[in-house]
């Protein structure tokens, strides 16, 4: 790519999602949500290149992916033909209330302008008693912390090493969330039973909650 070329987001994020660590983070979120059981209706919001959707489909989960970027969705269809994907804004999901057993969003909420609007949409399309789960950079994420982490992971793919430090830069310029921050966000929705845990040496945070039963 020359200096005059436009950055190819779809190609870049397809490479990111192909990495072992990133895939493990997404799968771990689905496991944390209890969203891997065959037959469950699951939505992946901000699915990107669709690797998690493809993975859960292989587990016989009734999974659908949603993403707003047509180029990313086109890339996903080239990688995984026939994958159930919908072009949609996270702020206005095109499903009726309460249709999914679990709704997931990996590494998305920290980037959006109105995270509470997105979270409320995720909750809206979740059935009463269903789960919502997210992962995002934690309050401990920084470029220095990410660089220290990759130095301690000599077997990590060089691309993933560079991406993790770049991800930290993006997080520093957007949001990094503590458990208390996210619990406060969840409190403005119909989610109960808030839980949180950090992963990758504290740099990322999983959170989950259950939609209040009817």
**How far apart are alpha carbons 141 and 203 in whole angstroms?**
5
Ranges 40-49, 88-97, 155-164: which has the least confidence? 155-164
The model's pLDDT over 109-156, given as tens digits with 9 standing for 90+, comes to 999 999 999 999 999 999 999 999 999 999 999 999 999 999 998 888
Residue 34: what are its φ and ψ, rounded to 5°?
Answer: 70, 35
CA 155 from centre of chain = 24
Query: Model-level pTM?
Result: 0.94
On whether the 9-138+175-211 domain is CATH 3.40.50.150, my answer is yes
- How many CB atoms are closer than 10 A to CB 61? 21
Query: Residue 52, class by beta-carbon neighbours within 10 Å (0-12 exposed, 13-18 middle, 19+ buried)?
Result: buried
Instruction: Determine the pLDDT at residue 130.
Output: 98
Q: How confident is the model at residue 3 (pLDDT cuts 50, 70, 90)?
A: very low
pLDDT tens sequence across 43-56: 999 999 999 999 99
Specify burial of residue 198 (Cβ count, 10 A radius: 0-12, 13-18, 19+): middle
């Amino acid at each position: 790519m020359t200096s005059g070329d436009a950055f190819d987001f779809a190609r870049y994020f397809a490479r990111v999602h192909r990495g072992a660590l990133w895939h493990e983070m997404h799968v771990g979120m689905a496991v944390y949500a209890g969203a891997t059981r065959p037959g469950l209706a699951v939505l992946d919001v901000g699915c990107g290149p669709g690797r998690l959707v493809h993975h859960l489909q292989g587990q016989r989960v009734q999974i659908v992916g949603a993403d707003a970027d047509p180029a990313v969705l086109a890339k996903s269809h080239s990688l995984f033909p026939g994958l159930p994907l919908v072009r949609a804004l996270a702020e206005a999901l095109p499903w009726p209330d309460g249709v999914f057993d679990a709704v997931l969003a990996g590494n998305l909420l920290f980037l959006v302008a109105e995270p509470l609007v997105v979270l409320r949409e995720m909750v809206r399309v979740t059935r009463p008693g269903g789960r919502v789960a997210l992962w995002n950079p934690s309050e401990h994420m920084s470029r220095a912390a990410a660089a220290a982490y990759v130095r301690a992971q000599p077997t990590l793919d060089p691309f993933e090493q560079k991406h993790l430090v770049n991800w930290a830069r993006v997080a520093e310029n957007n949001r990094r969330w503590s458990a208390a921050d996210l619990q406060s966000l969840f409190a403005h929705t119909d989610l109960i039973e808030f839980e949180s845990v950090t992963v990758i040496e504290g740099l990322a945070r999983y959170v989950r909650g259950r939609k209040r039963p009817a």
